[in-house]
Amino acid sequence: MQTNQGNLTLETLRFDNSFVRELPADNETVNRRRQVHHACYSRVRPLQVAKPQLLAFSPEAAALLNLPPEECRRNLFAQIFSGNALLPGMDPHAACYGGHQFGNWAGQLGDGRAINLGEVLNLSGERSTLQLKGAGPTPYSRNADGFAVLRSSLREFLCSEAMHHLGIPTTRALSLMLTGEPVERDMFYDGHPKEEPGAVICRIAPNFIRFGNFEIFAARNDLATLQQLTDYTIRTFFPQLGNPGKNSYIGLFREACHSTAKLMVQWLRVGFVHGVMNTDNMSILGLTIDYGPYGWLEGYDPAWTPNTTDAAGRRYCFGRQAQIAHWNLAKLANALYPLVEETAPFEEILQDYTRVFDQHWQEMMAAKLGLQRFDPASDQAMVEELFLLLMEVETDMTIFFRALGQVAEVLVQEQEAVEVCRQVLHPAWYQPEELNPAYQERLAAWLVRYQQRLRADSLEKGARQKHMNQVNPKYVFRNYLAQQAIDQAEAGEYQRIYELLDLLRRPYDEQPEREHFAAKRPEWARNRPGCSMLSCSS
Protein backbone atom coordinates (compact mmCIF):
# COMPACT_ATOMS: atom_id res chain seq x y z
CA MET A 1 0.00 0.00 0.00
CA GLN A 2 1.39 3.43 -0.94
CA THR A 3 1.87 5.86 1.93
CA ASN A 4 0.78 9.48 2.00
CA GLN A 5 4.36 10.62 1.41
CA GLY A 6 4.51 8.87 -1.94
CA ASN A 7 6.52 5.99 -0.52
CA LEU A 8 6.06 2.28 -1.09
CA THR A 9 6.12 -0.78 1.08
CA LEU A 10 8.04 -3.96 0.29
CA GLU A 11 4.79 -5.58 -0.73
CA THR A 12 3.94 -2.83 -3.23
CA LEU A 13 7.27 -2.71 -5.07
CA ARG A 14 6.54 -3.02 -8.80
CA PHE A 15 8.75 -5.44 -10.70
CA ASP A 16 9.27 -5.15 -14.44
CA ASN A 17 11.88 -7.77 -15.25
CA SER A 18 12.77 -6.73 -18.79
CA PHE A 19 16.12 -8.53 -18.87
CA VAL A 20 14.61 -11.97 -18.35
CA ARG A 21 11.46 -11.14 -20.32
CA GLU A 22 13.20 -9.97 -23.49
CA LEU A 23 16.38 -12.04 -23.61
CA PRO A 24 16.99 -15.77 -24.09
CA ALA A 25 17.15 -17.96 -20.99
CA ASP A 26 19.27 -20.98 -20.17
CA ASN A 27 17.16 -24.05 -20.99
CA GLU A 28 18.64 -26.12 -18.18
CA THR A 29 17.12 -25.43 -14.79
CA VAL A 30 19.46 -27.48 -12.59
CA ASN A 31 21.88 -25.24 -10.69
CA ARG A 32 25.17 -26.91 -11.52
CA ARG A 33 28.45 -25.42 -12.70
CA ARG A 34 28.71 -25.61 -16.48
CA GLN A 35 29.15 -23.76 -19.73
CA VAL A 36 25.94 -21.98 -20.72
CA HIS A 37 25.34 -21.38 -24.44
CA HIS A 38 22.86 -19.23 -26.40
CA ALA A 39 21.51 -17.66 -23.22
CA CYS A 40 21.94 -14.35 -21.43
CA TYR A 41 21.09 -15.73 -18.00
CA SER A 42 20.21 -18.76 -15.91
CA ARG A 43 17.37 -18.77 -13.42
CA VAL A 44 18.63 -19.62 -9.93
CA ARG A 45 17.32 -19.01 -6.42
CA PRO A 46 19.40 -17.71 -3.51
CA LEU A 47 20.17 -20.24 -0.80
CA GLN A 48 18.53 -20.03 2.61
CA VAL A 49 20.76 -18.78 5.42
CA ALA A 50 20.61 -19.71 9.07
CA LYS A 51 20.21 -16.39 10.86
CA PRO A 52 19.87 -13.26 8.74
CA GLN A 53 20.76 -10.09 10.59
CA LEU A 54 20.61 -6.57 9.17
CA LEU A 55 23.86 -4.75 9.93
CA ALA A 56 23.22 -1.60 7.93
CA PHE A 57 21.19 -0.08 5.14
CA SER A 58 21.48 3.08 3.07
CA PRO A 59 18.40 5.32 3.33
CA GLU A 60 19.54 7.15 0.20
CA ALA A 61 19.72 3.92 -1.79
CA ALA A 62 16.36 2.80 -0.41
CA ALA A 63 14.87 6.10 -1.57
CA LEU A 64 15.71 5.09 -5.15
CA LEU A 65 13.01 2.44 -4.68
CA ASN A 66 10.69 4.81 -2.76
CA LEU A 67 11.24 2.67 0.34
CA PRO A 68 11.20 4.72 3.60
CA PRO A 69 13.64 3.75 6.39
CA GLU A 70 11.00 1.98 8.44
CA GLU A 71 10.53 -0.56 5.62
CA CYS A 72 14.24 -1.41 5.82
CA ARG A 73 13.96 -2.22 9.52
CA ARG A 74 11.27 -4.88 9.03
CA ASN A 75 12.03 -8.55 9.49
CA LEU A 76 10.70 -9.12 5.95
CA PHE A 77 13.43 -6.83 4.61
CA ALA A 78 16.10 -8.96 6.32
CA GLN A 79 14.52 -12.14 4.95
CA ILE A 80 14.38 -10.82 1.37
CA PHE A 81 17.80 -9.24 1.17
CA SER A 82 19.58 -12.14 2.81
CA GLY A 83 18.06 -14.45 0.17
CA ASN A 84 15.62 -16.27 2.44
CA ALA A 85 12.44 -14.93 0.85
CA LEU A 86 11.21 -13.62 -2.48
CA LEU A 87 8.59 -10.99 -3.16
CA PRO A 88 5.86 -11.60 -5.75
CA GLY A 89 7.21 -10.48 -9.11
CA MET A 90 10.84 -11.32 -8.40
CA ASP A 91 12.51 -13.59 -10.97
CA PRO A 92 15.97 -14.43 -9.63
CA HIS A 93 18.72 -15.16 -12.14
CA ALA A 94 22.45 -15.00 -12.78
CA ALA A 95 23.87 -13.42 -15.95
CA CYS A 96 26.18 -15.06 -18.45
CA TYR A 97 29.25 -13.10 -19.53
CA GLY A 98 32.93 -13.53 -20.31
CA GLY A 99 35.89 -11.25 -20.07
CA HIS A 100 39.54 -10.43 -20.41
CA GLN A 101 41.27 -10.82 -17.06
CA PHE A 102 44.71 -9.22 -16.67
CA GLY A 103 44.91 -8.91 -20.46
CA ASN A 104 43.99 -12.52 -21.31
CA TRP A 105 40.71 -13.94 -22.56
CA ALA A 106 39.21 -15.98 -19.71
CA GLY A 107 36.19 -17.42 -21.50
CA GLN A 108 32.89 -17.75 -19.67
CA LEU A 109 32.79 -16.04 -16.27
CA GLY A 110 29.28 -14.91 -15.36
CA ASP A 111 27.60 -14.08 -12.06
CA GLY A 112 29.40 -16.61 -9.89
CA ARG A 113 28.22 -15.16 -6.58
CA ALA A 114 25.67 -12.58 -7.67
CA ILE A 115 21.96 -13.26 -8.11
CA ASN A 116 19.66 -10.62 -9.60
CA LEU A 117 16.33 -10.61 -7.80
CA GLY A 118 14.53 -8.48 -10.37
CA GLU A 119 14.04 -4.95 -11.69
CA VAL A 120 11.98 -2.42 -9.73
CA LEU A 121 10.25 0.55 -11.30
CA ASN A 122 9.91 3.36 -8.76
CA LEU A 123 7.13 5.93 -8.71
CA SER A 124 9.02 8.04 -11.27
CA GLY A 125 9.42 5.09 -13.63
CA GLU A 126 13.16 4.76 -12.93
CA ARG A 127 14.52 1.23 -13.23
CA SER A 128 16.68 -0.40 -10.54
CA THR A 129 18.02 -3.94 -10.66
CA LEU A 130 18.34 -5.52 -7.22
CA GLN A 131 21.30 -7.88 -6.97
CA LEU A 132 22.39 -10.02 -4.04
CA LYS A 133 26.12 -10.68 -3.78
CA GLY A 134 27.10 -13.71 -1.73
CA ALA A 135 23.74 -15.51 -1.83
CA GLY A 136 25.01 -18.87 -3.05
CA PRO A 137 26.31 -20.71 -6.10
CA THR A 138 25.15 -20.35 -9.69
CA PRO A 139 26.02 -22.20 -12.90
CA TYR A 140 28.81 -19.61 -13.31
CA SER A 141 30.49 -20.20 -9.95
CA ARG A 142 33.25 -22.36 -11.46
CA ASN A 143 35.22 -23.68 -8.46
CA ALA A 144 33.85 -21.17 -5.95
CA ASP A 145 31.02 -21.54 -3.46
CA GLY A 146 29.05 -18.40 -4.36
CA PHE A 147 29.19 -16.97 -0.86
CA ALA A 148 30.85 -13.82 0.47
CA VAL A 149 32.39 -12.83 3.78
CA LEU A 150 31.82 -9.85 6.05
CA ARG A 151 35.10 -8.05 5.35
CA SER A 152 34.63 -7.76 1.59
CA SER A 153 30.89 -7.12 1.87
CA LEU A 154 31.40 -4.33 4.39
CA ARG A 155 34.04 -2.75 2.16
CA GLU A 156 31.71 -2.79 -0.84
CA PHE A 157 28.73 -1.52 1.11
CA LEU A 158 30.54 1.52 2.49
CA CYS A 159 32.59 2.28 -0.61
CA SER A 160 29.60 2.19 -2.95
CA GLU A 161 27.85 4.84 -0.91
CA ALA A 162 31.06 6.83 -0.37
CA MET A 163 31.62 7.01 -4.13
CA HIS A 164 28.06 8.15 -4.72
CA HIS A 165 28.38 11.00 -2.23
CA LEU A 166 31.69 11.99 -3.82
CA GLY A 167 29.72 12.48 -7.04
CA ILE A 168 31.22 9.50 -8.89
CA PRO A 169 28.99 7.23 -11.01
CA THR A 170 28.64 3.93 -9.19
CA THR A 171 26.44 1.00 -8.36
CA ARG A 172 24.72 1.57 -5.03
CA ALA A 173 24.49 -0.49 -1.86
CA LEU A 174 21.08 -1.00 -0.30
CA SER A 175 21.86 -3.33 2.59
CA LEU A 176 24.48 -5.36 4.43
CA MET A 177 23.39 -8.59 6.09
CA LEU A 178 25.07 -11.20 8.23
CA THR A 179 24.01 -14.75 7.38
CA GLY A 180 24.81 -16.43 10.70
CA GLU A 181 26.95 -18.97 8.84
CA PRO A 182 30.74 -19.20 8.54
CA VAL A 183 32.47 -19.12 5.15
CA GLU A 184 35.97 -20.50 4.65
CA ARG A 185 38.40 -18.24 2.77
CA ASP A 186 42.13 -18.24 2.06
CA MET A 187 42.57 -14.47 2.14
CA PHE A 188 46.00 -14.36 0.53
CA TYR A 189 45.92 -17.68 -1.34
CA ASP A 190 48.85 -18.86 0.77
CA GLY A 191 47.45 -22.16 2.01
CA HIS A 192 46.09 -20.76 5.30
CA PRO A 193 42.30 -20.71 4.98
CA LYS A 194 40.12 -19.76 7.92
CA GLU A 195 36.44 -19.41 8.66
CA GLU A 196 35.00 -15.90 8.48
CA PRO A 197 31.50 -14.52 9.10
CA GLY A 198 29.29 -14.88 6.02
CA ALA A 199 27.50 -11.84 4.64
CA VAL A 200 25.24 -10.74 1.79
CA ILE A 201 25.10 -7.29 0.25
CA CYS A 202 22.29 -5.99 -1.96
CA ARG A 203 23.53 -3.84 -4.81
CA ILE A 204 21.40 -1.51 -6.94
CA ALA A 205 22.03 -0.22 -10.47
CA PRO A 206 19.89 0.49 -13.54
CA ASN A 207 21.62 -2.59 -14.94
CA PHE A 208 24.68 -4.72 -14.31
CA ILE A 209 25.52 -5.25 -17.99
CA ARG A 210 29.28 -5.39 -18.53
CA PHE A 211 31.58 -5.29 -21.52
CA GLY A 212 31.94 -9.02 -20.96
CA ASN A 213 28.23 -9.64 -21.59
CA PHE A 214 28.83 -8.69 -25.24
CA GLU A 215 32.25 -10.34 -25.44
CA ILE A 216 31.07 -13.85 -24.60
CA PHE A 217 28.64 -14.03 -27.52
CA ALA A 218 31.08 -12.51 -30.00
CA ALA A 219 33.77 -14.95 -28.90
CA ARG A 220 31.39 -17.87 -29.45
CA ASN A 221 30.19 -16.41 -32.77
CA ASP A 222 26.68 -16.43 -31.33
CA LEU A 223 25.68 -13.33 -33.27
CA ALA A 224 21.95 -13.84 -32.81
CA THR A 225 22.22 -13.60 -29.02
CA LEU A 226 24.75 -10.78 -29.32
CA GLN A 227 22.27 -8.78 -31.38
CA GLN A 228 19.41 -9.52 -29.00
CA LEU A 229 21.45 -8.28 -26.05
CA THR A 230 22.64 -5.16 -27.88
CA ASP A 231 19.17 -4.32 -29.13
CA TYR A 232 17.76 -4.76 -25.62
CA THR A 233 20.46 -2.51 -24.14
CA ILE A 234 19.72 0.25 -26.65
CA ARG A 235 15.93 0.06 -26.34
CA THR A 236 15.96 -0.01 -22.55
CA PHE A 237 18.85 2.24 -21.54
CA PHE A 238 19.81 4.30 -24.60
CA PRO A 239 16.49 5.05 -26.35
CA GLN A 240 17.91 8.39 -27.52
CA LEU A 241 20.04 6.42 -30.00
CA GLY A 242 16.96 5.45 -31.99
CA ASN A 243 15.90 2.06 -33.25
CA PRO A 244 18.48 -0.73 -33.06
CA GLY A 245 20.67 -0.87 -36.16
CA LYS A 246 24.18 -0.07 -37.34
CA ASN A 247 23.98 3.59 -36.39
CA SER A 248 22.69 2.90 -32.90
CA TYR A 249 25.28 0.12 -32.36
CA ILE A 250 27.98 2.65 -33.16
CA GLY A 251 26.19 5.16 -30.96
CA LEU A 252 26.15 2.69 -28.07
CA PHE A 253 29.91 2.28 -28.35
CA ARG A 254 30.37 6.06 -28.42
CA GLU A 255 28.26 6.41 -25.27
CA ALA A 256 30.34 3.73 -23.53
CA CYS A 257 33.61 5.42 -24.56
CA HIS A 258 32.56 8.86 -23.39
CA SER A 259 31.06 7.74 -20.07
CA THR A 260 34.08 5.54 -19.33
CA ALA A 261 36.53 8.36 -20.10
CA LYS A 262 34.66 10.66 -17.72
CA LEU A 263 34.59 7.96 -15.05
CA MET A 264 38.37 7.54 -15.23
CA VAL A 265 38.81 11.28 -14.66
CA GLN A 266 36.60 11.09 -11.58
CA TRP A 267 38.62 8.20 -10.16
CA LEU A 268 41.81 10.19 -10.66
CA ARG A 269 40.25 13.26 -9.05
CA VAL A 270 39.81 11.56 -5.68
CA GLY A 271 42.70 9.07 -5.81
CA PHE A 272 40.59 5.93 -6.24
CA VAL A 273 42.17 2.73 -7.58
CA HIS A 274 39.76 0.02 -8.71
CA GLY A 275 42.33 -2.77 -8.59
CA VAL A 276 40.67 -5.24 -11.00
CA MET A 277 39.81 -3.49 -14.25
CA ASN A 278 39.04 -6.67 -16.16
CA THR A 279 36.52 -6.27 -18.98
CA ASP A 280 33.95 -8.18 -16.94
CA ASN A 281 34.22 -5.42 -14.32
CA MET A 282 33.44 -2.59 -16.76
CA SER A 283 29.87 -1.26 -16.86
CA ILE A 284 28.20 -0.43 -20.16
CA LEU A 285 26.67 2.56 -18.32
CA GLY A 286 30.02 3.95 -17.20
CA LEU A 287 29.46 3.07 -13.53
CA THR A 288 32.04 1.99 -10.99
CA ILE A 289 31.19 -1.66 -10.56
CA ASP A 290 32.53 -4.60 -8.51
CA TYR A 291 34.39 -3.31 -5.46
CA GLY A 292 37.02 -5.97 -4.87
CA PRO A 293 40.60 -5.13 -3.85
CA TYR A 294 40.14 -1.41 -4.41
CA GLY A 295 42.07 1.27 -2.56
CA TRP A 296 42.62 4.98 -2.09
CA LEU A 297 45.91 6.68 -2.75
CA GLU A 298 47.37 7.89 0.49
CA GLY A 299 50.97 8.66 -0.36
CA TYR A 300 50.77 9.87 -3.98
CA ASP A 301 52.19 7.10 -6.17
CA PRO A 302 50.86 6.52 -9.71
CA ALA A 303 52.38 3.01 -9.69
CA TRP A 304 50.44 1.90 -6.60
CA THR A 305 47.96 -0.95 -6.85
CA PRO A 306 45.88 -2.33 -3.97
CA ASN A 307 45.69 -5.80 -5.54
CA THR A 308 48.20 -8.44 -4.41
CA THR A 309 47.54 -10.38 -7.62
CA ASP A 310 48.68 -7.32 -9.58
CA ALA A 311 51.73 -6.54 -7.45
CA ALA A 312 54.26 -7.77 -10.02
CA GLY A 313 52.85 -6.33 -13.24
CA ARG A 314 50.89 -3.35 -11.80
CA ARG A 315 48.60 -3.49 -14.81
CA TYR A 316 45.78 -1.86 -12.88
CA CYS A 317 47.77 0.68 -10.87
CA PHE A 318 46.46 4.21 -10.30
CA GLY A 319 48.35 5.86 -13.14
CA ARG A 320 47.38 3.30 -15.79
CA GLN A 321 43.63 3.25 -15.25
CA ALA A 322 42.76 5.56 -18.13
CA GLN A 323 45.01 3.56 -20.47
CA ILE A 324 43.50 0.25 -19.36
CA ALA A 325 39.98 1.62 -19.84
CA HIS A 326 40.92 2.43 -23.45
CA TRP A 327 42.25 -1.12 -23.91
CA ASN A 328 39.04 -2.55 -22.48
CA LEU A 329 36.96 -0.38 -24.79
CA ALA A 330 38.89 -1.80 -27.75
CA LYS A 331 37.75 -5.26 -26.63
CA LEU A 332 34.17 -4.01 -26.48
CA ALA A 333 34.61 -2.65 -30.01
CA ASN A 334 35.76 -6.09 -31.16
CA ALA A 335 32.65 -7.61 -29.60
CA LEU A 336 30.27 -5.16 -31.31
CA TYR A 337 32.07 -5.23 -34.67
CA PRO A 338 30.14 -8.25 -36.07
CA LEU A 339 26.94 -6.19 -35.85
CA VAL A 340 28.44 -3.35 -37.90
CA GLU A 341 31.18 -4.97 -40.02
CA GLU A 342 33.01 -1.67 -40.39
CA THR A 343 36.21 -0.86 -38.50
CA ALA A 344 36.43 2.88 -39.24
CA PRO A 345 33.63 4.03 -36.89
CA PHE A 346 35.10 2.11 -33.97
CA GLU A 347 38.62 3.34 -34.64
CA GLU A 348 37.40 6.92 -34.83
CA ILE A 349 35.53 6.65 -31.53
CA LEU A 350 38.50 4.99 -29.81
CA GLN A 351 40.66 7.89 -30.95
CA ASP A 352 38.05 10.31 -29.63
CA TYR A 353 38.33 8.66 -26.19
CA THR A 354 41.64 10.45 -25.72
CA ARG A 355 40.12 13.81 -26.61
CA VAL A 356 37.21 13.35 -24.21
CA PHE A 357 39.49 12.14 -21.43
CA ASP A 358 41.95 15.02 -21.91
CA GLN A 359 39.17 17.60 -21.99
CA HIS A 360 37.61 16.39 -18.77
CA TRP A 361 40.97 15.82 -17.10
CA GLN A 362 41.93 19.43 -17.79
CA GLU A 363 38.61 20.68 -16.44
CA MET A 364 39.06 18.50 -13.37
CA MET A 365 42.61 19.72 -12.70
CA ALA A 366 41.57 23.34 -13.14
CA ALA A 367 38.88 22.79 -10.49
CA LYS A 368 41.29 21.04 -8.11
CA LEU A 369 43.73 23.94 -8.45
CA GLY A 370 41.08 26.64 -8.12
CA LEU A 371 41.31 27.89 -11.70
CA GLN A 372 38.38 28.88 -13.89
CA ARG A 373 39.92 27.22 -16.91
CA PHE A 374 42.93 25.10 -17.76
CA ASP A 375 45.50 26.76 -20.02
CA PRO A 376 47.65 23.93 -21.47
CA ALA A 377 50.41 26.36 -22.44
CA SER A 378 51.09 27.28 -18.83
CA ASP A 379 49.26 24.80 -16.68
CA GLN A 380 50.38 21.45 -18.10
CA ALA A 381 53.99 21.92 -17.03
CA MET A 382 52.89 23.33 -13.66
CA VAL A 383 50.75 20.26 -12.96
CA GLU A 384 53.48 17.85 -14.06
CA GLU A 385 55.96 19.53 -11.71
CA LEU A 386 53.44 19.33 -8.86
CA PHE A 387 52.96 15.59 -9.25
CA LEU A 388 56.72 15.06 -9.38
CA LEU A 389 56.98 16.93 -6.08
CA LEU A 390 54.23 14.83 -4.52
CA MET A 391 56.08 11.68 -5.52
CA GLU A 392 59.52 12.79 -4.35
CA VAL A 393 58.49 13.08 -0.69
CA GLU A 394 55.60 10.84 0.39
CA THR A 395 52.63 13.18 0.33
CA ASP A 396 49.03 12.40 1.19
CA MET A 397 47.05 13.29 -1.94
CA THR A 398 43.74 14.00 -0.23
CA ILE A 399 45.20 16.17 2.53
CA PHE A 400 47.50 18.06 0.16
CA PHE A 401 44.80 19.17 -2.28
CA ARG A 402 42.41 20.06 0.51
CA ALA A 403 45.10 22.19 2.14
CA LEU A 404 45.94 23.78 -1.20
CA GLY A 405 42.60 25.57 -0.97
CA GLN A 406 43.95 27.50 2.02
CA VAL A 407 47.12 28.34 0.12
CA ALA A 408 45.09 29.60 -2.83
CA GLU A 409 43.38 32.21 -0.67
CA VAL A 410 46.61 33.60 0.78
CA LEU A 411 48.70 35.12 -1.99
CA VAL A 412 52.26 35.30 -0.67
CA GLN A 413 55.58 36.68 -1.73
CA GLU A 414 58.42 34.36 -2.65
CA GLN A 415 60.18 34.71 0.71
CA GLU A 416 56.99 33.63 2.50
CA ALA A 417 56.38 30.52 0.43
CA VAL A 418 58.49 28.19 2.60
CA GLU A 419 56.61 29.32 5.72
CA VAL A 420 53.30 28.62 3.98
CA CYS A 421 54.55 25.12 3.24
CA ARG A 422 55.47 24.61 6.86
CA GLN A 423 52.23 25.85 8.33
CA VAL A 424 49.53 24.82 5.85
CA LEU A 425 50.85 21.84 3.92
CA HIS A 426 52.80 20.17 6.73
CA PRO A 427 49.99 17.71 7.66
CA ALA A 428 50.15 16.17 4.17
CA TRP A 429 53.72 14.81 4.47
CA TYR A 430 54.32 11.37 5.94
CA GLN A 431 58.02 11.97 6.58
CA PRO A 432 58.48 15.72 7.16
CA GLU A 433 62.14 15.14 8.02
CA GLU A 434 62.72 14.35 4.33
CA LEU A 435 61.92 17.94 3.39
CA ASN A 436 65.54 18.89 2.76
CA PRO A 437 66.50 22.45 1.74
CA ALA A 438 66.66 21.58 -1.96
CA TYR A 439 63.13 20.12 -1.89
CA GLN A 440 61.77 23.06 0.10
CA GLU A 441 63.29 25.47 -2.40
CA ARG A 442 61.77 23.59 -5.30
CA LEU A 443 58.36 23.46 -3.66
CA ALA A 444 58.52 27.13 -2.78
CA ALA A 445 59.28 27.93 -6.41
CA TRP A 446 56.24 25.91 -7.44
CA LEU A 447 54.05 27.78 -4.94
CA VAL A 448 55.22 31.11 -6.27
CA ARG A 449 54.51 29.97 -9.82
CA TYR A 450 51.10 28.67 -8.76
CA GLN A 451 50.16 31.89 -7.07
CA GLN A 452 51.28 33.93 -10.06
CA ARG A 453 48.87 31.80 -12.07
CA LEU A 454 46.10 32.47 -9.55
CA ARG A 455 46.64 36.23 -9.85
CA ALA A 456 46.12 35.92 -13.59
CA ASP A 457 42.85 34.07 -13.03
CA SER A 458 39.67 36.09 -12.69
CA LEU A 459 37.98 34.00 -10.00
CA GLU A 460 36.91 36.28 -7.18
CA LYS A 461 39.03 36.04 -4.04
CA GLY A 462 37.10 34.36 -1.27
CA ALA A 463 35.24 32.08 -3.66
CA ARG A 464 38.29 30.10 -4.73
CA GLN A 465 38.67 27.91 -1.65
CA LYS A 466 34.94 27.25 -1.59
CA HIS A 467 35.07 26.00 -5.18
CA MET A 468 38.17 23.90 -4.50
CA ASN A 469 36.57 22.32 -1.44
CA GLN A 470 33.72 21.12 -3.63
CA VAL A 471 36.06 18.92 -5.71
CA ASN A 472 38.85 18.15 -3.21
CA PRO A 473 37.24 15.96 -0.53
CA LYS A 474 38.09 16.25 3.12
CA TYR A 475 37.15 12.62 3.78
CA VAL A 476 37.67 9.51 1.67
CA PHE A 477 37.16 5.87 2.63
CA ARG A 478 40.76 5.20 3.56
CA ASN A 479 41.89 1.59 3.69
CA TYR A 480 42.77 1.67 7.37
CA LEU A 481 39.32 3.06 8.23
CA ALA A 482 37.76 0.15 6.40
CA GLN A 483 39.96 -2.33 8.23
CA GLN A 484 39.14 -0.84 11.62
CA ALA A 485 35.44 -1.19 10.85
CA ILE A 486 35.99 -4.79 9.75
CA ASP A 487 37.96 -5.66 12.90
CA GLN A 488 35.23 -4.24 15.10
CA ALA A 489 32.41 -5.87 13.12
CA GLU A 490 34.07 -9.27 13.30
CA ALA A 491 34.19 -8.77 17.07
CA GLY A 492 30.46 -7.99 17.13
CA GLU A 493 30.77 -4.20 17.34
CA TYR A 494 28.93 -2.44 14.50
CA GLN A 495 28.85 1.21 15.56
CA ARG A 496 31.81 2.15 13.34
CA ILE A 497 29.85 1.08 10.23
CA TYR A 498 27.08 3.56 11.01
CA GLU A 499 29.59 6.27 11.94
CA LEU A 500 31.50 5.89 8.68
CA LEU A 501 28.32 5.75 6.62
CA ASP A 502 27.26 9.06 8.13
CA LEU A 503 30.73 10.60 7.73
CA LEU A 504 30.94 9.65 4.06
CA ARG A 505 27.58 11.26 3.29
CA ARG A 506 29.31 14.65 3.48
CA PRO A 507 32.85 14.11 2.21
CA TYR A 508 33.37 17.76 1.24
CA ASP A 509 32.22 19.24 4.56
CA GLU A 510 34.60 20.02 7.42
CA GLN A 511 32.76 18.03 10.16
CA PRO A 512 35.07 19.31 12.95
CA GLU A 513 33.88 16.67 15.41
CA ARG A 514 35.23 13.98 13.04
CA GLU A 515 38.54 15.56 12.14
CA HIS A 516 40.40 12.38 13.16
CA PHE A 517 38.90 10.55 10.18
CA ALA A 518 40.74 12.94 7.85
CA ALA A 519 44.16 12.11 9.29
CA LYS A 520 46.98 10.49 7.36
CA ARG A 521 47.28 6.73 7.38
CA PRO A 522 48.87 5.75 10.71
CA GLU A 523 52.24 4.06 10.58
CA TRP A 524 50.88 0.79 11.97
CA ALA A 525 48.71 0.49 8.85
CA ARG A 526 51.52 0.98 6.31
CA ASN A 527 52.01 -2.73 5.59
CA ARG A 528 49.15 -4.35 7.45
CA PRO A 529 46.94 -6.68 5.34
CA GLY A 530 43.69 -4.93 4.49
CA CYS A 531 45.26 -1.49 4.98
CA SER A 532 47.93 -1.64 2.30
CA MET A 533 47.05 -4.36 -0.21
CA LEU A 534 44.25 -6.88 -0.60
CA SER A 535 43.54 -9.98 -2.64
CA CYS A 536 40.52 -10.88 -4.76
CA SER A 537 39.38 -13.25 -1.98
CA SER A 538 35.84 -12.64 -0.84
Q: What angle separates helix 150-165 from helix 495-503, to the nearest 10 degrees? A: 20
pLDDT in the model for residue 1? 35
Range of the domain at 28: 10-211
pLDDT band at 224, cuts 50/70/90? very high
| pLDDT of 4 above 50 | no
Identify the pLDDT of residue 180. 95
- Give the contacts of 306 (CB within 8 A, at least 6 positions apart): 273, 275, 293, 294, 295, 479, 532, 533, 534
List the beta bridge partners of residue 272.
296
Give residue 510's pLDDT. Answer: 97
Kindly state whether residue 484 falls inside one of the protein's structural domains: no
> 386-443 pLDDT, tens per residue?
999 999 999 999 999 999 998 877 766 666 777 777 788 999 999 999 999 999 889 9
The span from the CA of 77 to the CA of 85, in Å, is 9
Q: Please write down the HEC assignment for all residues of 179-192.
A: EEEEEEECCCCCCC
* Phi, psi (degrees; rounded to nearest 5) at 94: -120, 140
Together in a domain, 18 and 164: yes
Q: List residues with catalytic annotation.
A: 280
Domain edge (last residue) among 181, 211, 241:
211
Q: Angle formed by the axes of helices 437-456 and 397-409, to 10°? A: 50
The phi, psi pair for 448, rounded to 5°, reads: -60, -45
Could you tell me the CA-to-CA distances from 408 to 192, 264, 284, 470, 509 in Å, in that order? 51, 26, 39, 14, 18
Please say whether the beta carbons of 229 and 219 come within 8 A.
Answer: no
Q: DSSP assignment, residue 48? A: P
Q: Is 319 exposed, middle or buried (0-12, 13-18, 19+ CB in 10 A)?
A: middle
Of 112-116, 381-385, 441-445, 467-471, which gets the smallest average pLDDT?
A: 441-445
Do 44 and 190 lie in one domain? The reply is yes
| pLDDT one-digit tens code per residue, 258-272 | 999 999 999 999 999
Asked if residue 144 is part of any domain, the answer here is yes
Hey, which bits of 412-515 come out as E strands?
Answer: none
Together in a domain, 204 and 249? no
Residue 74 shares a structural domain with residue 196: yes
SS3 content of the chain, % helix, strand, coil (to 5): 45, 15, 40
Same-domain check for residues 245 and 335? yes
User: Which percentage of the chain shows pLDDT scores above 90?
Assistant: 86
**What does pLDDT average to over the chain?**
94
Whether residues 242 and 353 share a domain: the answer is yes
**Whether residue 72 has pLDDT greater than 90:** yes
Q: Do 121 and 76 share a domain, yes or no?
A: yes
Q: Read off the pLDDT of residues 470-490 as tens digits, 9 standing for 90 and up.
A: 999 999 999 999 999 999 999
Domain boundary among 327, 346, 367: 367
pLDDT, tens digit (0-9, with 9 covering 90-100), for 122-171: 999 999 999 999 999 999 998 888 999 999 999 999 999 999 999 999 99
- Looking at the domain assignment, is residue 115 inside a domain? yes
Residue 72 falls inside a structural domain: yes
**Burial letters for 422-435: b for 16+ Cβ neighbours within 10 Å, e otherwise?**
eebbeebbbeeeeb
271 and 408 share one domain: no
Residues 81 and 51 in one domain: yes
Containing H/E element for 448?
A: helix 437-456
Tell me, yes or no, whether 360 and 244 share the same domain. Answer: yes
pLDDT (tens digit per residue) in 298-317: 999 999 999 999 999 999 99
Q: How many domains does the chain have?
A: 3
Q: What's the pTM?
A: 0.96
Based on the domain organization, do 253 and 355 belong to the same domain?
yes
Q: Which of 342, 367, 392 is the last residue of a domain?
A: 367
pLDDT for res 158: 98
488 in a structural domain: no
* Position 347, amino acid: E
Q: Are residues 353 and 394 in the same domain?
A: no
pLDDT at site 188: 62
